[in-house]
C-alpha cells in the first residue's frame, strides 16, 4: 500500500497544479502543532518567491482547489501562508481496512531482494557469554528479522570465536589433568572417541582455571601458546579436541540463545575459514597488494581523505601466524564463494571499529569482494551499570549473561506476584516471557551506537517506555477480544467505521504510519525506531481505551468496528514485537 503521507502529498500536488503552481511545492509533513492540525504544508511560502505573490494568496488558491477532496478535511490557509490539513476520517478508516485485509499490514516487500549476511552473536567458544555478547545477539537478531520482513534473503551467522589462545589454554589444562588421553600422544594414529572427554560444566570450569594459571605461571602460558600454534598447524589430536570443545560448547550456546529467542542460520566459526588463508595470502602477495614490513606481511590501506591514522592491515605476523584480521578476511572470501552476499552487516562492539575499517578496506583493495558488495559495520555502545561504568557483578567481576538474566527474572517475578494472585508456576512462566521483553526493549529502545544504562528497576516497570508496558497493552487488547468472544461476539467480517472522537482518530493515524515507519527502520537498520513507534502506538491505544467504552458500545456496527480496530492494533504491535524478538504472554 502507498504510504498515507504520500497519498496526502499527491493530493496536494494536484491541488497546487490545479491552482496554477508547481507541484514541487506540495510537500506535506506531520504537523508540529498537533493542537491545530494533523499535517501541514509550507510550500506556499517557498512558491511565493517564484511567483512573486503573497504566500497567503497561493495558500488560499490551493485550499480552494482542494474543494471536494476525498483524502483531506478541515483544510485551512493561515497567515502568513501555512496550509493546515487533517486527513479525511472516512478515507482514514478505508486505509485501515486495507491494512486489515493485507497480511503484511500495508508494508510492501522490496521489489529488489538482496542476499544479506548478518554477522552477530560472536561468542567465544568455551568462554562464558558476557553482557557485550548480549547486545550483539539482541540487536543482530532484530536486524535480521527486519531485513527478512522487508523481503530480503537474509543469512544470520554466529561467527564463533574458536581460533584463539583460549583453545590452547583448554588443551593445556586438559593435558595436565588427563595426560593419558590419546589426544596427547603424537604417535597415535587411530580414531578418537566420539564422546568428549569432558562435560560442559567441566569445560566452563577449565577455561577460567587455565586462564588464571597462565597469568601466574610463564611456562604454563608458553605451553598454551605452543598448543595453540600446534592446533593451528593442524596437529591431529588437538584438532579432534577442538571438535569436542566445539560440539559441547555449541550445544550449550544453542540452549542459551534459544532462551533469548535468538537463532542462527549458520554456526560457522573462525576455525572453518582457516583453509582459505594460504591461497588468499598467496594472491595478495602475487598481485602486489601485500608487502613485508618489519618482518610482518601487511597491506597498506591509507586513504588521502583520512583525518586520523589508519594503520596498515596486518595479514601475517613475523612468525607466520595469522591474526583476527586475517580470519575476518578469509571469512569474507568464504562468504563470497558460498553465499554471494550483496551486503554483509557486522553487529559488533563499536570499540572494534578500526579493525573493521582495516578489514573492509583491505577486502576491497585486494578484490575479495565485488565493487558493489556492501560491507557495513553496525557498532554498538557499551551497556553500563547504574553507576555509568561497564556492568559488573556485585562482587566486581565480569558480568555473565546468565546472572544478568536471572537478576531481571527475579525482579520481574516479584512484580508479577504483587500484581495479582497466581500459582508459583504460572508466575515463573510469565516472568520469563516478560523479563525477556524487559531486557530486549531496554536495549533496543536506545540507538544501537550509544552507551546505555542497564537499570533493572526501570526496565521491569510496567509504566513508561518499557517492554512490560508494551506487553500490558497487548495483553489488555487480548483480554478484551477474549471476553468479546466469550460473549459470542463475531466481527471477522466487520469493517472499521469512520472515527467518532479525537482519541480514536489519533489511534488510527498511528496505525496508518506502520508502513512508513518500517520503510525507514529497514533503511537505517534501526530497531530503536520500532520501539519509539510502538511506544507512541501503545500510548494512543491506551488513551483511546480510557476514553471509550468498547464492549459496552450500544450500536452493534460501532462495537464491531471498534473490535476490528483492536484486532488491527494487536496485529501491528505483535508484528513489531516479533521484529524486536519478543512476545506477549496470554495473561499478565
Residue 101, class by beta-carbon neighbours within 10 Å (0-12 exposed, 13-18 middle, 19+ buried)?
Answer: exposed
Q: How far is the CB of 139 from ligand ARG (least distance, A)?
A: 12
Reading the block at residue 387, the C-alpha cell is 553507576
Distance CA 3, CA 513 (A): 7
Whether 102 contacts 1, CB under 8 Å:
yes
Degrees to nearest 5, angle at CA 139 with 138 and 141: 70
Q: How far is the CB of 377 from ligand ARG (least distance, A)?
A: 10
Backbone angles phi, psi at 378, to 5 degrees: -110, 90
Comparing CB distances to ligand ARG, the nearer of 166 and 575 is 166
Comparing CB distances to ligand ARG, the nearer of 11 and 328 is 328
Distance CA 32, CA 366 (A): 50
Q: How far is the CB of 133 from ligand ARG (least distance, A)?
A: 7
Comparing CB distances to ligand ARG, the nearer of 122 and 128 is 122
Crossing angle between the packed helical segments 200-216 and 165-177, to the nearest 10 degrees: 100
Nearest-CB residue for ligand ARG: 122
Reading the block at residue 79, the C-alpha cell is 497567515
Which H, E and C letters describe 455-487, residue by residue?
Answer: CHHHHCCCCCCCHHHHHHHHHHHHHHHHHHHHC
Peptide bond preceding 80 in cis form (omega within 30 of 0):
yes
Comparing CB distances to ligand ARG, the nearer of 334 and 536 is 334
Q: How far is the CB of 19 from ligand ARG (least distance, A)?
A: 57
Measured torsion, CA atoms of residues 128, 247, 176, 207, in degrees rounded to the nearest 10: -10
Q: How far is the CB of 526 from ligand ARG (least distance, A)?
A: 20
Binding site for ligand ARG (CB under 6 A): 119, 122, 124, 159, 161, 328, 346, 348
DSSP 204: H
Q: How far is the CB of 136 from ligand ARG (least distance, A)?
A: 7
Q: How far is the CB of 375 from ligand ARG (least distance, A)?
A: 11
Comparing CB distances to ligand ARG, the nearer of 177 and 374 is 374
Beta-bridge mates of residue 313? 299
Comparing CB distances to ligand ARG, the nearer of 346 and 522 is 346
Comparing CB distances to ligand ARG, the nearer of 26 and 362 is 362
Q: How far is the CB of 308 from ligand ARG (least distance, A)?
A: 21
Whether 123 contacts 348, CB under 8 Å:
no
Q: How far is the CB of 572 from ligand ARG (least distance, A)?
A: 33
Whether 384 contacts 454, CB under 8 Å:
yes
Comparing CB distances to ligand ARG, the nearer of 159 and 235 is 159
Q: How far is the CB of 118 from ligand ARG (least distance, A)?
A: 11
Degrees to nearest 5, angle at CA 150 with 259 and 112: 140
Q: How far is the CB of 4 from ligand ARG (least distance, A)?
A: 40
Helix, coil or strand: residue 173 = helix
Whether 431 contacts 409, CB under 8 Å:
yes
Comparing CB distances to ligand ARG, the nearer of 119 and 510 is 119
Distance CA 329, CA 416 (A): 48
Comparing CB distances to ligand ARG, the nearer of 89 and 250 is 250
DSSP 70: S
Beta-bridge mates of residue 130? 400
Comparing CB distances to ligand ARG, the nearer of 122 and 581 is 122
Q: How far is the CB of 328 from ligand ARG (least distance, A)?
A: 5
Q: How far is the CB of 476 from ligand ARG (least distance, A)?
A: 40
Sequence-distant (≥ 6) Cβ neighbours of residue 122 within 8 angstroms: 133, 136, 158, 159, 160, 161, 348
Helix, coil or strand: residue 119 = strand
DSSP 208-239: HHHHHHHHH-HHHHHHHHHHHHHHHHT-HHHH
Comparing CB distances to ligand ARG, the nearer of 19 and 344 is 344
DSSP 490-552: --TT--PPPP-SHHHHHHHHHHHTHHHHHHHHHHHT-HHHHHHHHHHHHHHHHHHHHH--STT
Comparing CB distances to ligand ARG, the nearer of 133 and 175 is 133
Amino acid at each position: 500500500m502507498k504510504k498515507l503521507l504520500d497519498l496526502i502529498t499527491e493530493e496536494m500536488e494536484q491541488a497546487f497544479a490545479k491552482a496554477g503552481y508547481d507541484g514541487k511545492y506540495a510537500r506535506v509533513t506531520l504537523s508540529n502543532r498537533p493542537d491545530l492540525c494533523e499535517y501541514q504544508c509550507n510550500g506556499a511560502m517557498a512558491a511565493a518567491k517564484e511567483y512573486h505573490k503573497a504566500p497567503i494568496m497561493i495558500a488560499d488558491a490551493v485550499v480552494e482547489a482542494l474543494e471536494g477532496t476525498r483524502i483531506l478535511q478541515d483544510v485551512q490557509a493561515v497567515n502568513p501562508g501555512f496550509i493546515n490539513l487533517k486527513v479525511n476520517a472516512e478515507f482514514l478508516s478505508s486505509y485501515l481496512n486495507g491494512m486489515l485485509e493485507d497480511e503484511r499490514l500495508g508494508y510492501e516487500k522490496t521489489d529488489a531482494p538482496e542476499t544479506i549476511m548478518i554477522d552477530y552473536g560472536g561468542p567465544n567458544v568455551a568462554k562464558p557469554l558476557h553482557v557485550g555478547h548480549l547486545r550483539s545477539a539482541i540487536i543482530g537478531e532484530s536486524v535480521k528479522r527486519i531485513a527478512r520482513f522487508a523481503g530480503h534473503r537474509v543469512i544470520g551467522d554466529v561467527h564463533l570465536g574458536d581460533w584463539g589462545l583460549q583453545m590452547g589454554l583448554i588443551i593445556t589444562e586438559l593435558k595436565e589433568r588427563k595426560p593419558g588421553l590419546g589426544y596427547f600422544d603424537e604417535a597415535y594414529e587411530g580414531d578418537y572417541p566420539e564422546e568428549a572427554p569432558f562435560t560442559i560444566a567441566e569445560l566452563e570450569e577449565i577455561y577460567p582455571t587455565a586462564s588464571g594459571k597462565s597469568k601466574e605461571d610463564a611456562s604454563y602460558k608458553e605451553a598454551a601458546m605452543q598448543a595453540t600454534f600446534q592446533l593451528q598447524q593442524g596437529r591431529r589430536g588437538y584438532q579432534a579436541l577442538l571438535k569436542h570443545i566445539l560440539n559441547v560448547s555449541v550445544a550449550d550456546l544453542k540452549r542459551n540463545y534459544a532462551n533469548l529467542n535468538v537463532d542462527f542460520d549458520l554456526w560457522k566459526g573462525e576455525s572453518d575459514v582457516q583453509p582459505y588463508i594460504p591461497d588468499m595470502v598467496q594472491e595478495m602477495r602475487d598481485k602486489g597488494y601485500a608487502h613485508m614490513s618489519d618482518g610482518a606481511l601487511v597491506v597498506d590501506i591509507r586513504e588521502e581523505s583520512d583525518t586520523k591514522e589508519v594503520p596498515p592491515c596486518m595479514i601475517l605476523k613475523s612468525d607466520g601466524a595469522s591474526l583476527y584480521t586475517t580470519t575476518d578476511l578469509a571469512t569474507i572470501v568464504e562468504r563470497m564463494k558460498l553465499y554471494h552476499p550483496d551486503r554483509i552487516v557486522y553487529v559488533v562492539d563499536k570499540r572494534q571499529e578500526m579493525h573493521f575499517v582495516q578489514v573492509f578496506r583491505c577486502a576491497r583493495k585486494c578484490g575479495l569482494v565485488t565493487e558493489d558488495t556492501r560491507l557495513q559495520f553496525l557498532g554498538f555502545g557499551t551497556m553500563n551499570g547504574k553507576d555509568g561504568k561497564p556492568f559488573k557483578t556485585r562482587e566486581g567481576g565480569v558480568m555473565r549473561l546468565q546472572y544478568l538474566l536471572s537478576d531481571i527474572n527475579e525482579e520481574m517475578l516479584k512484580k508479577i506476584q504483587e500484581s495479582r494472585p497466581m500459582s508459583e508456576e504460572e508466575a515463573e512462566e510469565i516472568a520469563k516471557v516478560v523479563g525477556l521483553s524487559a531486557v530486549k526493549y531496554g536495549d533496543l529502545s536506545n540507538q544501537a551506537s550509544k552507551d546505555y544504562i542497564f537499570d533493572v528497576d526501570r526496565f521491569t516497570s510496567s509504566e513508561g517506555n518499557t517492554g512490560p508496558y508494551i506487553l500490558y497493552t497487548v495483553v489488555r487488547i487480548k483480554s478484551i477480544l477474549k471476553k468479546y468472544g466469550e460473549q459470542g461476539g463475531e466481527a471477522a467480517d466487520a469493517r472499521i467505521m469512520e472515527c467518532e472522537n479525537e482519541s480514536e482518530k489519533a489511534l488510527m493515524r498511528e496505525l496508518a504510519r506502520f508502513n512508513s515507519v518500517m520503510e525507514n527502520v529497514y533503511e537505517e537498520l534501526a530497531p530503536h525506531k520500532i520501539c519509539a513507534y510502538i511506544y507512541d502506538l501503545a500510548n494512543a491505544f491506551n488513551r483511546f481505551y480510557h476514553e471509550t467504552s468498547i464492549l459496552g458500545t450500544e450500536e452493534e456496527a460501532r462495537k464491531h468496528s471498534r473490535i476490528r480496530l483492536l484486532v488491527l492494533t494487536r496485529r501491528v504491535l505483535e508484528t513489531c514485537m516479533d521484529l524486536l524478538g519478543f512476545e506477549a504472554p496470554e495473561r499478565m
